[in-house]
Amino acid sequence: MAVSLRPRGDRSDALKMRAEREGTSGHAMVLQAVDDCLARTAQQAVVRKTAMEQAAKWHELMEQLK
C-alpha cells in the first residue's frame, strides 16, 4: 500500500528538524510512528480482552462479596 503524506507548516519543519537530530529520515520516523501506533493498539486490545475474560471469570464471586 502506497501512502502519500504531506505534513503542513510547523509539522513538516518539526519532522525535518527531529529527523536531522536523530540522524534519520522523515520517512523512517513516520514508519516508526506507524509501527508504534499499531503495536500500542494491539497491546491495548490484548489488555481489554484479558480484562473482559477475567471480569467474566470472577463476576459471580464478586457479586457474592458485595
Question: What stretch of H or E contains 48?
Answer: helix 26-65
Q: What is the pLDDT, as a whole number, of residue 26? A: 93
In this prediction the pTM is 0.68
Q: 19 or 4: whose pLDDT is higher?
A: 19
| CB contact at 8 A, 9 and 19 | no
Calpha distance 48→46 (Å, rounded): 6
Buried b or exposed e, range 32-42, using 16+ CB within 10 angstroms: eeeeeeeeeee
Calpha distance 8→25 (Å, rounded): 17
pLDDT tens-digit readout, 37-65:
999 999 999 999 999 999 999 998 888 88
- Mean pLDDT in residue range 3-25: 92
